[in-house]
Amino acid sequence: MFRLAGPLGAATLFVASALNAASMPAESRGFLDRNCVACHAGEQAQAGIRLDGSGIDWTSGEATALWERVYDVLETKLMPPRGAGQPSEVERERMAGWLEGQLLSHTASGASVPRRLNRYEYENSIRSLFNLPDFEVPHSFPADDSRHGFDNNGEGLVLSPPLMAQYLVLATHVADEVLPPARGATAAASKLHRLGRDGLATGAGGLVGDGAFRIVSSRNMANVAAWPVRFEARQSGIYRLTFNAVGYETDRMFYEQRAQPFRLQIYARPKADEVYAPFGDLRILAEFDVHPGGSAPRTLTAEIELLAGETFGIRWENGPAYSDPPRRDFSHAFLADRLTRDRLFYAAMLEFGGGARSTTEKELYEAIRALMDSGNLDLHDPRLDKLPEVWGGGLSSAPHNWIKGFVHQELFRFGPAVDLSGIEVEGPLRLVEDDATRARRARSERFLGERAPGTTDEEHARTVIGRFLPRAFRRPVEEGQVEAYAALAAGYLRDIPGARIEDALHLVLRRALVSPNFLYRGLRPGPLDSFDLASRLSYFITSAPPDDALATAASGGALSDPAVLAKEAERLLLSQASDRFVRSFTGQWLSTRLLRGIMPDPRLIQFGDANRDAMIAEAEMLFAEILREDLSLEAFIDPGFSYRNARLNKIYGDDLEGPEMRRVTFETGGRYGGILSLAAVMMATANGVDTNPVHRGVWLLENVFGTPAPEPPPDVPAIAPDTSGATLIRDQLAAHRADPTCARCHDRIDPLGMVLESFDPVGLWRDHYPVYTQPEDGSEALNEEFYSTVGKGTAAGPLVDSVGLLADGTRLDDTPALKRYVVEHIDMFSGCLVGKLLVYATGRALTFRDRREVERIVAAAKSRGNGFRDLILEAVGSEAFATR
Amino acid sequence: MHQPGRRKFLQGVGGSLALPMLESLSPKPLRGLQQDPAPLQRLVCVGTYLGFHQPDFFPQRTGPGFEFSPVLKPLESYRDRLTVFSGLDHRGRNGHGGWQAWMSGSATGSVSMDQLVADKVGDHTRFASLQLTCGTPPDPARMSFTKEGVALPMIGRPSVLYQTLFRSSDDSARLEYLLASNRSVLDGVTQEAKALARSVTASDREKLGEYFASVRQVEKDLRKQRLWLDRPVPRVDYPLPEFDPVAPDLALECESIMYDLMALALTTDSTRVATFLVPGWSQVFTIGGRKLSAGYHGLSHHGNNPVRIADYNLVGIEHVRRFGRFLDKLDKAKDEHGRSLLDTAAVVFGSGMGNANTHDNSNLPTVLLGGAFRHGSHWRIERDAPNPRLLGDLYLSLLQRFGIDVDKFAGGESNLDELVA
């Protein structure tokens, strides 16, 4: 029972025209007359569905969709509605059986429309065609629409004029990277730049009285190094940098630096407006040691190589404060060290209580310093013997920033620090060919390839085109097409005096990249051939064109052999390239893409990008392990393992440290584990502030049960349950279901959603609904959190009631019961997942005919042990996959 | 790069180079000064990403006798030529993402007001519209959207904007080649698409219809660009700094330059529609020789701390001061009828952010200047009235004055002419 057809609109569907209508056997007509037409007839037909015609026009897509829906409601006994007279089981089955036969014989499998490459596929195609691994479309590139749950669906992938204009611009951009236009020789335009008082910037430190610029720490935090704001290299070349540096120290330093020299590093900064670059990615250009203790500044000078557009930065490589890359805030280790070694400071922090959110760094410093100097702190407070409980994970950014702010202020006043002055940069003294230019030259040589001796530009251009077009168009190209492109190149070479072959091919390349043969796949009519299959497989699993091995298999025609196709599919699934499938498919099937648009209420959780990334990574890594280890489908529901890091501690109650995702194992059968309780899914199915059982119920029907609910009628207001406790959610939903029109779907939706009410909007288990005790901006809650694992912004409200009573009479008490139910009905889940995979792979909605294929795939995979990878391989080998 | 033979070559492969002077693309004289009311000719919209402190932006008193608030003080010389609105917004989404709705009323996917105006007046100028900002703004910062809902890229580097507006002859040769050869490229791929269309099913042909339609529209745009290529680029004498002040710390410097260039773009009639998103990050500004108490973003989340509010206002005042200097330039320039350019334009200044402290996008700061409006008042819109007026209503008043036939926009359903006409 896989109802995969989309919902029908409210318009009256009466699609039995006299001309095309196939007449209906008397028995079927009689069934409809007895059981349906009381409501579904005439102009006033319920839901606009008319079943009183004399025949069915099977050539009409609307009619097919209508009768599919009739079949579904018969099969699932949603119709006739409760309370109305019911047909006997035998009658029902005979009617459904007749309808099924009709639907099967009148609907074709397939019929994808040509699929434009979506944004992600386009990027990957360019990357792989031209060896441009970093190619990205600009932010302004139009986004793709989703249809049937995915953004790679032919219908949704509309081409619009702004998109075409972008393709044209990007084609030139790519051609410039592959076959750069010739440039005249440029001379080095050397110039002396004196970077004055305000010529440097830093995230910490700043100017001191005598005009020097003081950096307090940089180590591995690019945003607290120092960098010039009024200089960037106009040309790639060698520049001479000169500056004065001196260590700054006093007797009140907490960090002892005297024993070792201060090491300054000059590094290349990619862009003046890119503040947060991590050091790991940056080139070190020069190093100096500044010995402490001296009072006279030392003049340092170096010749450094800067590329056009770059600037440089000055970093204090062994400064006292540090962070763990890739995090750019203070590391736990640094903060822990400070709190452990400096009881006075820790005691002051405890006494201070955090301060208001709006306290400035300077105010904060002065307040804490005053407490430290007061002599009134209790240094025997037992809390000082251990780090705050919140330390293991979920430490909110606020205490980080307070401690960071304090340390920076302290270093600025008392040292150790480094004072810089007199910074000058002169150049370019001479020009250099930068990496990008070198890479372009290599790409150009590769694109042109070996040239046979004695061939003219025109002949060679033709050879290059003959080789390039089949790769760009992902299939053999007719002679006429090569001819058209060769004529373009030949015309250029003939008509322009001194024309270079590169420029002729530049034009060819620009045309190929806006050609429908590149931008679309699935353009060829008729059954899929070996090349179509190769593209379908590679974009399915790698969101990219076929790699060399797959292209070779396709050109030999071997892919028509199911064994070869399966072998290639397995190879790709086990390769790194399938990460793109994992990301793209989970992002859409599990809705984790929605997380970027949701900002949780700060009273529920302190939430930032790192929390969001961890949630998404958990979903992807779970999926990837099930895929790569070929685990059984039950592992999606109740796996007994997951991948988590410290950012997820608050949600799952783990005690992990640090940002790396680690595999954790636990007993099966509990609250957590599997897609039904992933924080990412729970968050994606709520709005960050409160939960709505209807949303989660609809999500489960669509993505786990495979029986999606149709769109609600247009004139019905959305249900927004009030969770403040005034009325129980269960009662609000029950009142809504009193209307039989609503009940038809909500009887299926609401019970499932109710079970998941135990998860709050960020996936945290709750026994009570929250009552908020703090203002919405979270200012107070933030401060509390430093000392407690649980946000103090909420109090316990009404008890959560998670019992769901399914239409088949099953009572689900809680999430573990829901998981058991799905595991017991694993074929249902398997069918749902196969449906999603096929829609994603083929770019079309599945037809009635495809349902049989889905059932066959489910059964075949089950006979092989129900492994997820086997399920995908069965899907790849199916008729549905091989049909347009 | 100049390549003498290109012109000839293009005649060979790209069809005729003697471009037809399309009626619809040729410049028309400014329409009817005599007509009454004179339709507006220009639109400028400037929005600050991190908003303003509302209590210090909105005047206390309403009507013609309003007093200039601390933040708006630098605009006092325009008292009779501007209108301040409080209480207007889109009833839209909160948060930084909601900012995107400022010019369109919808968080994503809807055309913004400036693009409707660009459709109307864009054919008169080299650039139908310009989108400006400073540096690389934070990700959700978007302002202008096409009819297809595509966010338009913004130019954030002064040197790039200058080069775009007043490019050198070398660039022109390359641009000429690319434009002409793009047309031959599109001719070629149209042939490919036609060949494909002959062999595919009806539904596939329909899909390819999108391709043909898109190519045709792009060809039209290319023809327009080509026409402008033959007209001399205006020569200006502007002391562009030799580095682009795109570092966040220099954002106020960058803002001044972008305003100067925007004024030049309008006074040279390179465009008649310009939007400027004034961004904000966590940079710590130094204003009046003093380093402010926190980064700009931190100041916007002032937590009602008076020190932070005062500093937040200092940044706001700097924005308004720069905007005022831009108005002076616009006002000094005259069109061919001797009219101040400011009087031929509608200028909207404000923010898509209401209360930055709580990320609340209601009660958006809004100032309107320019011709064809009755000015001199502060209007406080009652947000709790039964049918409250929306920012979209004000936009309707603007759009209609450009002669655009529209009666619903950005949630607005009736214009605000009772206040501004």
A820: Cα separation from own chain's centroid: 30
- E-state strands within B80-192: 82-86, 130-132
Placement of tokens 């790709």 in the chain: A572
| pLDDT tens, position by position, A582-610 | 999 999 999 999 898 777 877 778 788 88
Verify whether the Cβ–Cβ distance A201 to B12 is below 8 Å: no
- E-state strands within B224-322: 273-278, 286-287, 290-291
| pLDDT tens, position by position, A434-464 | 888 889 999 999 999 999 999 999 999 999 9
Task: Tell me the residue length of chain A.
Answer: 884
Higher pLDDT, A461 or B372: A461
User: If you compute the radius of gyration of chain B from its CA atoms, what whole number of angstroms results?
Assistant: 23
pLDDT at B115 over 80: yes
Of A141-155, A308-322, B92-106, the one with minimum mean pLDDT is B92-106
**So what's the pLDDT on residue B23?**
30
Q: Is there a cis peptide before residue A80, judged by omega within 30 degrees of 0? A: yes
Residue A42 burial by Cβ neighbours in a 10 Å radius (0-12, 13-18, 19+): exposed
Report the distance separating Cα A692 and Cα A344, nearest Å. 48
Q: Is B175 on the interface with A (CB under 8 A)?
A: no
Verify whether the Cβ–Cβ distance B294 to A168 is below 8 Å: no
Placement of tokens 């593209």 in the chain: A535
Residue B158 burial by Cβ neighbours in a 10 Å radius (0-12, 13-18, 19+): buried
Report the distance separating Cα A789 and Cα A389, nearest Å. 7
pLDDT at A743 over 90: no
Q: Would you say A286 and A187 are in contact if contact means Cβ atoms under 8 Å apart?
A: no
Phi, psi of A364 (to 5 degrees): -60, -50
**So what's the pLDDT on residue A500?**
95
The pLDDT of B83-97, averaged and rounded, is 85
Report the distance separating Cα A518 and Cα A772, nearest Å. 55
A850: Cα separation from own chain's centroid: 29
For chain A, give percent helix, strand, coil, nearest 5. Answer: 45, 15, 40
Q: Would you say A176 and A436 are in contact if contact means Cβ atoms under 8 Å apart?
A: no
Residues 194-233 of B with CB under 8 A from A: 196, 199-201, 203-204, 206-208, 210-211, 213-215, 217-218, 221
Verify whether the Cβ–Cβ distance A164 to B151 is below 8 Å: no
Query: Helices A579-589 and A609-628 sit at what angle, rounded to 10 degrees?
Result: 110
What residue type is assigned to position A287 of the chain? E
Q: How far is B33 from chain A (nearest CA, A)?
A: 34
- E-state strands within B199-351: 273-278, 286-287, 290-291, 345-350
Residue A146 burial by Cβ neighbours in a 10 Å radius (0-12, 13-18, 19+): middle
Q: Would you say A447 and A178 are in contact if contact means Cβ atoms under 8 Å apart?
A: yes
Higher pLDDT, B46 or A7: B46
Report the distance separating Cα A128 and Cα A257, nearest Å. 50
| pLDDT tens, position by position, A557-589 | 899 899 999 999 999 999 999 999 999 999 999
Of A54-68, A291-305, B75-89, the one with minimum mean pLDDT is A54-68
Bridge partners, A575 (sequence order) = none
Query: Helices A361-374 and A343-352 sit at what angle, rounded to 10 degrees?
Result: 120
Q: Would you say A216 and A170 are in contact if contact means Cβ atoms under 8 Å apart?
A: no
Torsion over CA: B330, B334, B339, B341 (sign): negative
What DSSP state is assigned to residue A577? G
- Residue of A514, A776, A847 to mutate, interface with B, max B Cβ within 10 Å: A514
For chain B, give percent helix, strand, coil, nearest 5. Answer: 45, 10, 45
| pLDDT tens, position by position, B272-325 | 999 999 999 878 888 988 888 888 988 998 888 888 899 999 999 999 999 999
The pLDDT of A830-849, averaged and rounded, is 94
**So what's the pLDDT on residue A183?**
75
Q: HEC states along A241-266? A: EEEEEEEECCCCCCCCCCCCCEEEEE
Q: How confident is the model at residue A26 (pLDDT cuts 50, 70, 90)?
A: confident
Verify whether the Cβ–Cβ distance A273 to B217 is below 8 Å: no
Higher pLDDT, B302 or A301: A301
Report the distance separating Cα B154 and Cα B160, nearest Å. 11
Contacts of A236 (CB under 8 A, 6+ apart): A305, A306, A307, A308, A428, A431, A432, A433, A434, A437
Report the distance separating Cα A499 and Cα A484, nearest Å. 19
pLDDT at A778 over 50: no
What residue type is assigned to position B417 of the chain? D
The pLDDT of A228-245, averaged and rounded, is 91
Report the distance separating Cα B70 and Cα B317, nearest Å. 8
Give kind and range of the element (H or E) at residue A528.
none
Q: Would you say A420 and A212 are in contact if contact means Cβ atoms under 8 Å apart?
A: yes
- Residue of B108, B175, B185, B355 to mutate, interface with A, max A Cβ within 10 Å: B185
Percentage of residues in chain A having pLDDT higher than 70: 87
Q: How far is A518 from chain B (nearest CA, A)?
A: 10
**So what's the pLDDT on residue A297?**
84
Of A780, A853, A676, A683, which Cα lies nearest the Cα of A110?
A853
Cα torsion B271, B273, B279, B285 to 10°: value is: 60
pLDDT at A699 over 90: yes
Give kind and range of the element (H or E) at residue A56.
strand A55-56
- The CA-CA-CA angle for residues A642, A647, A652, to 5°, reads 50
Report the distance separating Cα A848 and Cα A109, nearest Å. 8
Six-digit token string for A169: 């611009």
Closest residue in A to B156 (Cα–Cα): A273
Higher pLDDT, A384 or A752: A752
Report the distance separating Cα A219 and Cα A137, nearest Å. 33
**So what's the pLDDT on residue A60?**
74
Higher pLDDT, A831 or A691: A831
**So what's the pLDDT on residue B4?**
38
| pLDDT tens, position by position, A103-144 | 888 776 667 789 999 999 999 999 999 999 999 998 778 878
What residue type is assigned to position A265 of the chain? Q
Q: How far is B114 from chain A (nearest CA, A)?
A: 16
Contacts of B421 (CB under 8 A, 6+ apart): B373, B374, B397
Q: What separation in angstroms does the CA of A860 have from each of A564, A632, A854?
A: 18, 13, 10
Q: Would you say A222 and A273 are in contact if contact means Cβ atoms under 8 Å apart?
A: no
Torsion over CA: A831, A837, A840, A846 (sign): negative
**So what's the pLDDT on residue A721?**
62
What residue type is assigned to position A39 of the chain? C
Hey, how many other C-beta atoms are within 10 angstroms of the C-beta on A640? 15
Q: How confident is the model at residue B32 (pLDDT cuts 50, 70, 90)?
A: very low
Bridge partners, A267 (sequence order) = A284, A313
What residue type is assigned to position A871 of the chain? L
| pLDDT tens, position by position, A329-369 | 567 778 878 888 999 998 888 887 655 555 677 888 898 89
Report the distance separating Cα A390 and Cα A383, nearest Å. 13
| pLDDT tens, position by position, B130-156 | 999 998 887 778 899 988 777 888 999
**So what's the pLDDT on residue A64?**
80
Q: What separation in angstroms does the CA of B199 have from each of A63, B203, B205?
A: 28, 12, 9
Of A762, A764, A734, A761, which Cα lies nearest the Cα of A749?
A734
The pLDDT of A728-755, averaged and rounded, is 84
Verify whether the Cβ–Cβ distance B13 to A484 is below 8 Å: no
Verify whether the Cβ–Cβ distance B196 to A523 is below 8 Å: yes
Report the distance separating Cα A66 and Cα B118, nearest Å. 45
**So what's the pLDDT on residue B297?**
86
Report the distance separating Cα A856 and Cα A850, nearest Å. 10
Verify whether the Cβ–Cβ distance A275 to B12 is below 8 Å: no
Placement of tokens 């609600």 in the chain: A712
| pLDDT tens, position by position, A498-541 | 899 999 999 999 999 999 999 999 888 888 999 999 999 999 99
Closest residue in A to B299 (Cα–Cα): A358
**So what's the pLDDT on residue B107?**
63
Residues of B in contact with A164 (CB under 8 A): 211, 214-215, 217-218
Most confident residue range from A48-62, A87-101, A495-509: A495-509
**So what's the pLDDT on residue B36?**
43
| pLDDT tens, position by position, A283-292 | 899 999 987 7
Q: Would you say B132 and B254 are in contact if contact means Cβ atoms under 8 Å apart?
A: no
The pLDDT of B92-119, averaged and rounded, is 84
Is the model's pTM score more than 0.90?
Answer: no
B284: Cα separation from own chain's centroid: 27
ipTM > 0.85, yes or no: no
**So what's the pLDDT on residue A330?**
66
User: If you compute the radius of gyration of chain A from its CA atoms, what whole number of angstroms results?
Assistant: 33
Q: How far is B231 from chain A (nearest CA, A)?
A: 23
Q: How far is A794 from chain B (nearest CA, A)?
A: 19
